Amino acid sequence: MGSPVFPNKATHEGVRRIGMPRALLFYRYGSLWTAFFESLGCEVVLSEPTDKGTVARGDALSNDECCLASKAYLGHVAALLESGACDAVFVPSIANVGLHRGFCTKFQALPDLVANTFADKHVRVLSCLVNEREEKTGMKEALIGVASQLGIGPREAKRAWKAAAHAQTQAERFAVARQMRALTTLERAREAAHIGRSTTSTSHNAEGEAGAARANGPTAMIGGGGAGPRMAAAANARAAFNKGRVRASKEPLGILLAAHPYVAHDPYLGGALVDLLERMGATVLFTDETDRKRALQASFGFSNTLPWIVNRELVGSLMLLHERVDGIVLVSAFPCGPDSMTDDAIVRCIQGKPILNLTIDAQSGTAGLETRVESFVDILRYQRKGGYVHAADD
Amino acid sequence: MPQTTDRMPEPASNRTPSPATAHTAEPEPISASGRAAEHPRERVDPLRTVGDARSTDEVRGARVVLGDGGRGPFKLLPSRPRRERSAKRDRHARTRVAFFRYSYYDIAFKFFVEHVLDADFVALPKPTRRTIELGSRHSSDMVCAPFKHILGDYIEALELGADVLVQFAGPCRLGYYGELQESILRDMGYEFEMLNFATVTGKPLTEYISICKKKVNPNVSVPHGARNMLAVFKMIECLDEANDFYLANAGFEVEPGSFERAREAYFADMREATCERDIAEAQRRGLDALRALPVRKPAQPVRVGIVGEYFTAADPTSNLDLERKLLAMGVELHRSLTMTNRNLRHNERNLRASIADYVTYNMGPTSSLTIASALRYAQEGFDGVVHVKSSGCTPEVDCVPVLQRIGRDTGMPLLYLSYDSQTSDTGLDTRLEAFYDMLAMKKEKTR
């Protein structure tokens, strides 16, 4: 396999169809990686979105102490290998992008984990090392190294990097803008509801009923449609659905979903939860869709030595947004190492906002989830009305 | 060759608090300054409407928590008022420094505190059931077992009057231990300083010195300290050398308990050492005493290697006296994971070069050492290897597929042990006995 820092030149020459497991850090660097390989002229073969089968297969392949998200990852790799649609699977080893900007050791170990788990299948792993602290190789250097393994020269690789970095920035900016829009909509709706409430309270029934009828109008159509959008629904469909819902509920709820991107945006792991919240009329905001730089910066106000960048962004985003939402749903995949430490710290330190702390594991159905989320949303609604908790303050 | 892929029983599935846990009196946190301690973690309880992790009997925790605003800003360590006892050179009271318990290395820690930091060392008594109960009660359920052990140690140290606690840095969850433990202990009401080396990782050596001056002793002498630091390293190497000899031979002692007694005497001797010469002399005496003990060693003893996670593999309290149990069966033991091998003589690149057939990248703090030693043991014809880790230790969990492959390729049996704060002693006995029987039978057959 060659040395991790100076990979043998062109060991993977001729590989043109690159398998990309749709799991773990794909949800963070997906745009970057896809754009990079595509502008190198490679074909990116993305695995299908996670479903029950993927997780079951990954579960069978991994040690039972692995976290659910990494089990799903192995399921995705297995699916890619089985489909035979790719020449090699791209599995980078990502240690850190600077001091106190590290990743869970799982991401360091992934290439070797894949290589050893699928040792009999003769898997071809296309890999690189991202370790800025010790090796001074950032994502850029690492990817240019990957290009050279593919037999592509540095000039072309650098051009591809430029395109990739641009795509990544665009994607992040898009997500941030969408989040900001949702937040503004939420706050406007909240204001409107507040004004509406004070007018109804002065001029009683008639207007109040009319207002309710008006508000119910659009919902009846969407809500009548049945179960609402399923997990695979595109984000904009979700936003449109949301808008109707927010207008419908007199007291719009903003819920911040604090989870690693590969849990929050994975249709199987976090998708059911997001759906559930939206079906109850909440606007769901994501911690990983806040401006990453600002969130990272803010997180240093919470903790000096927190080693993981993904958790840093989560905490920083909580710091930036927790005043503006009604409640926080803190989710982690069982058993997540970094979360085992930070979840507890967050729950202990954050004040004044209710937090629902959930752990998703392979066995859990959505039934247990539903009752919990429902009761949490009820708590939030009750609190918006003056509630039992800060009743004295209001 | 059958391959044992045993695991400890999953204790999480029925985690009802045992009567012992439920009824032990709430510890009275007596802070160093004597301030009455209140319990902010208890205050949020009434609102834990569903599934308080402590009281439900399911793995998947779900809880609703709402702080009452009493804790202050959203910060792990809210800034504190300036302490009255400011560290002035002329009126500095000697601080009392405590480490966590870690196998026999408390001897080196003591030397470090007394001769490098020039402060008093708080020696902790042998850990008890209460230690781990304290630690588990105040930490999150899912955090790794060493965190709970160390937190329990810290609480006991503070009860004994320590005013500085020391924590290391590490590339896994260990890197976050210090700050989180400090936060938990402060929320419990304790007053202390934390010498947390994670706050200065990646910074120049001068930062290490200045943090020691700030937190422990403003009069730390650099030349003196540097010389004694080398003595600390020497001492760690000596301790590991003597222990390696003990592990290899204690299983065959003629007089039961003789090795244990000699080792204890040696440790006591080493504990008294105050300079490099003392260390060398204690070492010579100790090794002589150990070597003089009669042994009855067969020509081809059953040889077992121990590899695994930094804390659990080396600490007898954490691994429920794994080594003593194996020695009692008459096994020659080798443990590669020592501070000498991991900290002082660690060469990541060379280790990884030796396992290039299996692994390309660094997988975490002790992974390369674990895999390289397991492979080396296999190549040297050991009868088996025991892989020891705390439950859920990510880097070591990731080693398991590699170790399984090594086991397949070399035909060497491996026993995988995963510890958590509730792992039972008898469960371990059964597994070790079965493993030993298997090794012994295999040896008999191939003879």
Whichever domain contains A116, its CATH number is 3.40.50
Contacting A residues, span 111-130, partner chain B, CB-CB under 8 Å: 111-113, 115-117, 119, 127, 129
Q: Which residues of A touch B71 (CB under 8 A)?
A: 348-349, 351
Q: Is the pLDDT of residue B35 over 70?
A: no
Chain A residues close to B51, C-beta within 8 Å: 372
Q: Which residues of B touch A350 (CB under 8 A)?
A: 67, 74
Nearest one of A159, A129, A172, A193 to A40, comparing CA atoms: A159
Q: Closest-CA residue in chain A for B53?
A: A357
pLDDT of B56 over the 80 cut: no
B262: CB partners within 8 A, 6+ apart: B286, B289, B290, B293
Mean pLDDT of A170-187: 94
Cα dihedral B288, B294, B298, B303, rounded to 10, equals -50
Q: How near does any CA of chain B get to the CA of A13, in Å?
A: 19
What does DSSP say about strands B62-65 and A355-360: parallel, antiparallel, or unpaired? antiparallel
- Please, which pLDDT band fits residue B90 given cuts at 50, 70 and 90? low
Which B residues in the span 272-301 are in contact with A, Cβ-Cβ below 8 Å? none
Give the separation between CA A114 and CA B374, rounded to whole angstroms. Answer: 20
Paired tokens of A190? 């909240």
CA distance B258 to B171: 39
Judging contacts by C-beta atoms under 8 Å, the chain B residues touching residue A149 are: none
Q: A263 and A131 share a domain? A: no
Q: Residue A326: which domain range?
A: 203-384
**In chain B, which residues have their Cβ closer than 8 Å to the Cβ of A65?**
391-392, 397, 418
Q: Do A130 and A214 have their domain in common?
A: no
State whether A227 and A85 are in the same domain: no
Q: For residue B275, give every residue at least 6 positions away whose Cβ sits within 8 Å of its Cβ, in sequence order, or none.
A: B115, B231
Count the Cβ atoms, other than its own, within 10 Å of residue A260: 30
Among residues A169, A191, A217, the one where a domain terminates is A169
Give the CA distances from residue B352 to residues B135, B342, B364, B372, B379, in Å, rounded to whole numbers and listed in that order: 35, 13, 12, 7, 16
What average pLDDT does the structure give for chain A? 83
**Do A280 and A308 touch, CB atoms closer than 8 A?**
no
d(CA A176, CA A172): 6
For chain B, the first-to-last Cα distance in angstroms comes to 16
Mean pLDDT value across residues B387-404: 94
Q: Is A322 on the interface with B (CB under 8 A)?
A: yes
Question: What are B67's two structure tokens?
Answer: 């702080």
pLDDT band at A245 (very low <50, low <70, confident <90, very high): very low
Evaluate whether residue A211 is within a structural domain.
Answer: yes
Q: Is residue A351 part of a domain?
A: yes
Same domain, A292 and A359: yes
Nearest CA-CA partner of A233 in A241, A245, A222: A241
A24 alpha carbon, distance to own chain's centre: 9
CB B147 within 8 A of CB B173: yes
Q: Is residue A80 part of a domain?
A: yes
For residues A155 and A26, membership in a common domain is answered with: yes
Q: How far is A173 from A348, CA to CA, in rounded Å?
A: 32
Contact B143 A63 (CB under 8 A): no
Per-residue confidence (pLDDT) for residue A200, from 0 to 100? 53
A237 shares a domain with A155: no
Please give the average per-residue pLDDT across A217-239, as a whole number.
Answer: 38
The string of DSSP letters for B62-112 reads EEEE---S-S-SS-SS---PPPSS---STT-PPPEEEPPP-TTTHHHHHHI
Same structural domain, A234 and A157: no
pLDDT for res B91 = 65
- The kind and range of the H/E element at A29 are helix A26-39
Contacts of A351 in chain B (CB under 8 A): 67-72, 74
Measure the N-to-C terminal CA separation of chain A; round to a whole number of Å: 65
- Whose structure tokens read 């049996």? B413
Q: At residue A134, does pLDDT exceed 80?
A: yes
Give the residue from A255, A227, A261 showing the smallest Cα distance to A241. A227
Could you say which of A153, A169, A185 is where a domain stops? A169
Same domain, A135 and A211: no
Residue B150 has phi, psi (to 5 degrees) of -70, -40
User: A79: which residues sit within 8 A by CB, 6+ positions away?
Assistant: A47, A48, A54, A57
Asked if B401 and A345 come within 8 Å (Cβ–Cβ), the reply is: no
> Does residue A36 form part of some domain?
yes
Q: Higher-confidence residue: B32 or A204? A: A204
- What pLDDT, on the 0 to 100 scale, is given for residue A18? 95
Looking at beta carbons, which residues of chain A come within 8 Å of B404? 116
Q: Do A345 and B201 touch (CB under 8 A)?
A: no
Does A6 reside within a domain? Answer: no
Q: Is the same domain home to A226 and A372?
A: yes
Angle at CA A243, nearest 5°, toward A386 and A294?
Answer: 80
- Mean pLDDT of the B74-92 span: 70
Quote the pLDDT of residue B61: 62
Look at residue A339 in the predicted model and tell me its pLDDT.
93
Among A66, A301, A361, beta carbon nearest to B75: A301
B228 compared with A353, residue with greater pLDDT: B228
- Identify the DSSP state of A5: S
pLDDT band with cut points at 50, 70 and 90 for residue B31: very low
Token look-up 């009255």 returns B84
In angstroms, what CA-CA distances link A20 with A43, A50, A152, B61? 10, 13, 19, 32
Residue B256 Cα distances to B170, B261, B364, angstroms: 39, 10, 40
* Sequence-separated (6 or more) residues with CB below 8 Å from residue A287: A256, A257, A258, A259, A264, A295, A313, A314, A317, A318, A321
Strands A93-96 and B303-308: unpaired
Closest to B44 in 3D by CA, of B70, B75, B80, B78: B70
Q: Given pLDDT bands bounded at 50, 70 and 90, which one contains residue A121?
A: confident
Euclidean distance between CA atoms A185 and A240, whole angstroms: 12
The DSSP element (H or E) to which A103 belongs, if any, is none
pLDDT tens for residues B165-202? Answer: 999 988 889 999 999 999 999 999 999 999 999 999 88
Q: Do A104 and B147 touch (CB under 8 A)?
A: no
Distance, CA of B392 to CA of A333 (rounded, Å): 13
User: pLDDT band at residue B86, thresholds of 50, 70 and 90?
Assistant: low
B361 has pLDDT over 80: yes
pLDDT above 90 coverage of chain A, percent: 59
Chain A residue numbers with beta carbons less than 8 Å from the beta carbon of B139 are: 344
Whether the predicted pLDDT of A247 surpasses 70: no
Which B residues 107-126 touch A at CB under 8 Å? Answer: none
More confident residue, B59 or B439: B439
- Asked if residue A165 and residue A217 are part of one domain, the reply reads no
A42-71 residues touching B, CB cutoff 8 A: 62-67
Ramachandran quadrant class, B72 (left: phi over 0; alpha: psi -120 to 50; beta: rest): left
- Token pair, residue A5, equals 């820092």
Q: Is the pLDDT of residue B83 over 50?
A: yes
Assign residue A308 the CATH number of its domain.
3.40.50.11900
Percent of residues in chain B assigned helix, strand, coil, to nearest 5: 50, 10, 40
A331 closest CA partner among A254, A267, A256 = A256
Return the residue matching tokens 């439950």: B391
Number of structural domains (chain A) is 2
A106 and A52 inside one domain: yes
Bridge partners, B65 (sequence order): A355
Q: Say if the Cβ atoms of A349 and B74 lie within 8 Å.
A: yes
User: Mean pLDDT across the stretch A225-239?
Assistant: 40
**Local structure of B332: helix, strand or coil:** strand
Answer yes or no: do A153 and A228 share one domain.
Answer: no
Output the pTM of the full model.
0.84
CA distance A257 to A324: 13
- Nearest C-alpha neighbor of A4 from the set A156, A101, A136: A136
pLDDT mean over B340-351 = 93
A88-90 vs A17-20, strand pairing mode = parallel
Residue A284 lies in a domain: yes
Considering A49-63, A208-222, A240-254, the range whose residues carry the highest mean pLDDT is A49-63
Is residue A360 in some structural domain?
yes
Residue A305 within a domain: yes
